[in-house]
Amino acid sequence: MTCAGLLLLSQPRNGLAQTPAAAPIRAVKCGRLLDVRTGRVIANAVVLVQGRTILQAGANVAIPAGAEVLDLGNALVLPGLVDAHTHLLQNYLPELGGDDNNMLHTVATMSTARRALLGAAMGREDLEAGITTVRDLGNSGLNGDVALRDAINRGEVVGPRIVASTRALSAAGGQFGRLTPEAQALVAQEYVAVSGVEEARRAVRQALYDGADCIKVIVNTDPRVVSLEELKVIVEEAHRQGKTVAAHAIGDDATRMAAQAGVNSIEHAYTIPDDVLKMMKAKQIFLVPTDFPAEYYTSGALANATPEQRQRAEKGAKDFAASNRQRLARAVKAGVRIAAGSDSYYQAPGMTRGQSSLLMFRAYAAAGMAPLDIIRAATVNGAELLGLKGKIGALEPGMAADLIAVDGDPLADITALEKVRFVMKAGKIIKNEPAK
């Protein structure tokens, strides 16, 4: 029998498709609900959830008969958080030192399959901390981020919603330090090196074929720099396919080229001139400031340091954090849109990866960002940057039922977001702890 015949036999005799039973309704009650668009806190609120989406949210919403009720008391409910710059499949070991040693150790000793399993663990820790969506920007082996994303989407693994980039595009060598000719084969496990506009175009097409949701490009790793012509082709090809481009760029020339090329976000930008900030505002390019408090940069890395080494490291971290604060304050003043991104590669002592990632909010606050603006950077702004505007980032009808709850008031103290006690992702309860 043909496939068409089998299909006909499977249809109801009346020719009408069977309508699946409607998913049950859940009602999440809370004393406070944050409207992230207006900043208004709504008292005595209810969020009605059916299946994976929000039906209704607001004050004194009528709860249908038979609905399951989740009463969170006086907790504040807000949308699940978005981390726009993660590397779930990479985990630094402080005892190995900095980037080069850790990257070599990871690529030389861990298969992509092993890293995907690591990513599953790190993703679960992010999710339990309230981060329901991430944009994972490379350092994931040969498309390990795509494998993890798909496993999560199929329900095989519990983790955040992932927007994956596959391997980052870069100049020769990627972000590795100097390698011997024999060791240079390792570069291709993390990066796609491009030289010339046609290689750049081909690399974007390959990334999309491999399953990329967005494109990551390393504009500069001194002294190697991707050219403006290559960047323009990368952006053109990605945008032609409806995909966004994230540009790792630091310094005057690199950030200027990224902005001129029309990328969607500039990552890090630890040093960036005012004319580039002005261009970013005009072109609606997001800044993803991967900043942390000074103590994060030295946590766990100084166990075996001499007093002199400790003093130098702590001073360097304080100077770096202070410089980042000034840069972020300038960007905000210039009207550049901010999307929160942790770029976290390890867990601070005594914390999970997710808890460590949320420390970025302290750095944003220290730079003068208002709590509501920080929350928007991690909700509606992040959603827009990830191409998920209207789907996540707010508690509105038709959006994904991504909810978190805290007992404190993050509008007064942003560190309240570090104590999430309830997490729901796409209608599924991930965490539900009693009030303390």
Protein fold of 81-358? TIM Barrel (3.20.20)
Q: What is the pLDDT of residue 11?
A: 41
Instruction: Give the chain's residues under pLDDT 50.
Output: 1-19
3 state SS for the chain: CCHHHHHHHHCCCCCCCCCCCCCCEEEEEEEEEECCCCCCEEEEEEEEEECCEEEEEEECCCCCCCCEEEECCCCEEEECEEEEEECCCCCCCHHHCCHHHHHHHHHHHCCHHHHHHHHHHHHHHHHHCCEEEEEECCCCCCCHHHHHHHHHHCCCCCCCEEEECCCEEECCCCCCCCCCHHHHHHHHHCEEECCCHHHHHHHHHHHHHCCCCEEEEECEECCEECCHHHHHHHHHHHHHCCCEEEEEECCHHHHHHHHHHCCCEEEECCCCCHHHHHHHHHHCCEEECCCCCHHHHHCCCCCCCCHHHHHHHHHHHHHHHHHHHHHHHHHHHCCCCECCCCCCCCCCCCCCHHHHHCCHHHHHHHCCCCHHHHHHHCCHHHHHHCCCECCECCCCCCCECCEEEECCCCCCCHHHHHCEEEEEECCEEEEECCCC
Q: What is the pLDDT of residue 17?
A: 41
pTM of the prediction? 0.93
Q: What is the pLDDT of residue 1?
A: 42
Q: What is the pLDDT of residue 94?
A: 72
Q: What is the pLDDT of residue 228?
A: 98
Q: What is the pLDDT of residue 299?
A: 67
Protein fold of 22-79+396-432? Urease, subunit C; domain 1 (2.30.40)
Domain ranges of the chain: 22-79+396-432, 81-358
